[in-house]
Chains A and B, each alone.
Chain A
Amino acid sequence: MRVKRGLAEMLKRGVIMDVVTAEHARIAEDAGAVAVMALERVPADIRRDGGVARMSPPEMIESIVGAVTIPVMAKARIGHFAEAQVLEALGVDYIDESEVLTPADEAHHIDKWQFTVPFVCGATNLGEALRRISEGAAMIRSKGEAGTGNIIEAVRHLRSITGDIRRITVADSAELYDWAKRLQAPVALVREIAEAGRLPVPLFCAGGVATPADASLVMQLGAEATFVGSGIFKSDNPAARAKAVVEATTNFDDPAILLKVSRGLGEAMPGLELGNLETRLAERGW
């Protein structure tokens, strides 16, 4: 587990960018991304096109692995351990068991302890995060609402997770059993949180980041790094915006730098109101 978590530690204060081509991957690396997420369609397009979203074809992932020197992640469907086996054999650096793809199992997530490759999983609250960690996830990210360019869901998820962590740190030993029951999570993990005041694995943000200020917001709310999906390559000037989001993540608590990097980026991706969505991706996962 130390080796799996170790890579997540190395990605902290960094930006992981969704890319669909080798050219995108090079733009991401040129901008200072710490890793790329190889996928067939960015979430905004998955949302628009509909249909079943699956693991990307190996050739596509391999072309991205070949294009960059930074780590490459790829997505498997929730519960689809065979897709994960294929991705591990291919040699990706991290697997995202992701609600952005269509779930393959309506009750079970992947038993991630069976793998050498580390996994990141999404969570909307602390209970979900702890269930994923108990299944072997080495990194947790907020789900947010992918493909919307709307940060409100990521904020809700981060506040829910960090707020409950804070409340658990002041609970007495008897109350921890009740917390475990309410969170539907192992009491041993709840105790770990009570002692450490943090998740036992790194907590990153994903879902809805579209501007440098969005990245700063989620970092100030306790995220340790940021995933950006559609926000880069659905904007006017992906190269400039990618670099600005990277600088904003490194310097998230320095408003002068945030102001500087927020200038001259052109239009951000078009955003979506949550009330108008047909599919809530964040509701996938159990």
Chain B
Amino acid sequence: MKVGVLALQGAAELHLAALRSIGAAAVPVRRPDELADVDRLILPGGESTTISMMLDANGLTGPLAERLAGGMSTLGTCAGLLLLASEVTDGRDDQHCFGALDISARRNAYGPQTESFEADLPIAALGPSPMTAVFIRSPIVERVGPEVEVLARLDGHPVLCRQGRAWGCTFHPELSGDLRLHRLFCEETA
């Protein structure tokens, strides 16, 4: 099984390192042929507007939409979650959201960088000890559709959710060195 990390812009490297340290064959994805070659995909954090434009520039928008519609296992973190959402508020009108997760998310909802934070987050699916979750200019999920399963909340807001094979979190599992979420994502066979 080959796991791709969309590496147009953002924190791709840390996801690749996390995947490799749990023994996954991890490769960066920047072109359509590279996307066609992977079984699963992580959409990393970064600037969602930039990533969205670079999807167009590199001819990946159509192929990614097709793979997502085909049910590819995908994990979107922060900006990646916005790409998977069905609706983004406070973003740019032209930014892509592919609708693999039936959620509405508000971009950069906590405010400027001085409001970024870490929190110990209990996630039942990952076992008893909480995960150190790093939130960097993160979005807030304001609506979840009936098909969406919420796996963790913070202050009442969903911060980790999934719908079928699409997973999204508003925090950065790649920044804390805790590999449990990457492992769960790679092992699930829904």
Contacts and interface: CB of A to CB of B under 8 A. Distances in A.
Interface of A: 2-3, 6-7, 9-14, 29, 32-35, 69-71, 88, 91-94, 116-118, 246-247, 250-251
A29 B92 contact: yes
Decide if the interface of chain A is mainly helix, strand, loop or mixed: loop
B116 to A, nearest CB: 5
A32 B13 contact: no
Given A2-B175, A91-B112, A251-B30, A69 B8 contact: no
A3 B91 CA distance: 22
B118 A10 contact: no
Interface in B40-84: 45-47, 49-50, 53-54, 57-58, 78-79
A197 B10 CA distance: 21
Interface in B1-50: 7-14, 30, 45-47, 49-50
Decide if the interface of chain B is mainly helix, strand, loop or mixed: loop
Given A9-B14, A12-B10, A35-B47, A69 B57 contact: no
A69 B10 contact: no
A117 B114 contact: yes
Contacts of B14: 9
A35 B48 CA distance: 12
B105 interface: no
B118 A3 contact: yes
Interface of B: 7-14, 30, 45-47, 49-50, 53-54, 57-58, 78-79, 90-92, 107-108, 111-114, 116-118, 134, 136-137, 172, 175-176
B27 to A, nearest CB: 14
Contacts of B176: 2
A69 B111 contact: no
A31 to B, nearest CB: 8
B113 A71 contact: yes
A14 B58 contact: no
Given A3-B117, A6-B172, A250-B30, A32 B54 contact: yes
B9 A3 contact: no
Given A7-B136, A12-B13, A247-B57, A118 B113 contact: yes
Contact of A70 (B47, B111, B114): B47
Contact of A13 (B12, B45, B57, B116): B12
A128 to B, nearest CB: 24
Contacts of B92: 29, 69
Contacts of B7: 13
A88 B8 CA distance: 30
Contacts of B175: 2, 6, 9
Contacts of A10: 10-11, 45-47, 78-79, 136-137
Contacts of A34: 9, 46-47, 50
B45 A70 contact: no
B47 to A, nearest CB: 4
Contact of A14 (B47, B78, B116, B117): B47
A71 B118 contact: no
B90 A3 contact: no
Contact of B112 (A3, A13, A93): A93
A3 B137 CA distance: 10
A116 B50 CA distance: 26
A193 B80 CA distance: 31
Nearest to B57: A247
Contacts of A94: 113
Contacts of B91: 69
A88 B47 contact: no
